Amino acid sequence: MSKIISCEEVGVFDTYDLEVDHPDHQYYLANGVLTSNSHSVSYSFISYYTAWLKHHYPTQFMCAILNSEDPNGDKIQEYIDECRKMGIKLLPPDVNSSSNLNKVTGEREITSGLSTIKGLGEKAVGSIIVNQPYTNFLDFLARNESKAVGKTVIQSLAKAGALDSFSLLRKDMHDNYQKYRNKINTLVRKELSLLEEEDDIFESDDSETSSISKPTYSSEITNRIKALSSKIMNPIDPALEEWDKKNILIYEREVLGRSISGSLHEAFKGFFSGGSNVVSLGSIGRLESGEKVRVEGIIKNKIKEFKIKNGANIGKKFAKYLIEDSFGNTCGMTLWADDYEKYRTALVDGIPFKAICRVNEYMDQKDLALSTMERVYGREK
């Protein structure tokens, strides 16, 4: 957002003004902005419309909300949690059926968009969509050139589960994509060399997406590629084993911001005690401010880092994290300066921890502040 550098007077103009002779009509908001009761009427209409849409079209409403946010932004997890509470299933992205954005694919079902995968740029997403659908992994590689869909893109797709419809191991496609690409490209070149005129190879396409991918193959060549790929589609290394459950969940979290094949807590069962004295993060809002609780969770992401501007710790940094418990509940957790300095390198996305925290309340919202870190996975106390 642009900052206001200076203001200058431009004259006096007639404006609409509603005045009500009542001391409670105008008031200051928490951020110091002066407003009035009449101004809030327009917001009440918006609130009514959104409540009506959420009630009557819950899946469509939540899909639109998800698409309105940055996939890597702070608010997206809040909306994902809301989908879970509403019984709306978020499906993983799929190179054969996903579009750029999330889309409704069932009564209580949203299929994730390709743009939700970290590592995929606009050119890659455009190329994949314009060439849909694909017969198999070789067909996918043949019709998406490496300039747009290269190593980072393919490996991110494999980690996200977006290539699962090809019925190969994620690890195989992640590790051996170049061998598969060489295999199909060799055969495609032989097929193309059989055609005498270049105009017979490609079809012209004036659509908006054609500029971000290579020219569309003619139907004849496309059919030949599909036939060839089906004929030679065998695993490069049939003895190769899939990633274990822990790595699958961690890789999904890495590229999607969440684990879709299960809870990441499954990968650390031996770490969590799950005792009766461990508080569910879903109950934090019902606890008293200042109350101490024991929590066990996983770091979802660092929400924001702050710098202290005054006092004894001026210049030092503290941070707020988003954490998740084994039930999928999330909550904010603040680490003040000394603890943040001590644990900042250890508390990365996907790492489990055990801690004693204090319930913190700010502007009627409750979250947690770290009191004592009992243990961080992979680090001695």
Compute mean pLDDT per 10 residues along the chain, 381 residues long, and list them.
70 64 65 66 84 95 91 77 90 93 93 92 94 91 91 96 94 94 83 57 45 51 74 78 89 86 80 85 92 92 90 90 87 94 90 94 90 87 54
* CB atoms inside a 10 Å sphere around CB 73: 11
86: amino acid identity, one letter: M
Query: Would the pTM of this model clear 0.75, i.e. be above it?
Result: no
Q: Give the C-alpha separation, 80 to 62, whole Å.
A: 9
Phi/psi class of residue 28: alpha, beta or left (left: φ > 0; alpha: ψ in -120 to 50)? beta
Instruction: Give the CA-trace dihedral at 338, 343, 348, 354, to 10 degrees.
Output: -110
Rounded CA-CA distance 183/324 in Å is 43
> At 139, phi and psi to the nearest 5?
-60, -40
pLDDT value of residue 36: 66
**Angle, CA 281 vertex, CA 277 and CA 283 arms, to 5°:** 85
Helices (H) and strands (E) in the chain, counts: 10, 12
Q: How many CB atoms lie within 10 A of CB 239?
A: 5
CB 101 within 8 A of CB 115: yes
User: What's the first-to-final CA gap in the chain, in angstroms?
Assistant: 42
The 10 Å Cβ neighbour count of residue 375 is 14
Q: Give the tokens for residue 17.
A: 């003004």
Give me the helices (H) in the chain, please: 40-56, 58-68, 76-85, 122-130, 137-142, 151-160, 170-193, 219-232, 245-256, 337-343
**218's tokens:** 């003619």
Residue 6 is predicted with a pLDDT of: 74
Q: Which residues of 80-116 are buried (b: 16+ CB within 10 A; e: fewer)?
A: bbebeeeebebbbbbbeebebbbbbeeeeebbbbbbb
pLDDT at position 97 is: 92
CATH 2.40.50.140 for the 264-376 domain, yes or no: yes
Domain boundaries, the chain: 119-256, 264-376
How distant, in Å, are the alpha carbons of 114, 136, 172, 222 from that of 132? 13, 11, 22, 11
The closest of 92, 133, 134 to 114, measured between CA atoms, is 92
Asked if 95 contacts 156 with a C-beta cutoff of 8 angstroms, the reply is: no
Q: What angle do CA 87, 250, 269 make, to 5 degrees?
A: 80
Measured CA distances, 332 to 209, 308, 309 (Å):
41, 19, 22
DSSP-derived 3-state class of residue 253: helix
Q: What are phi and psi of 271, to 5 degrees?
A: -85, -40
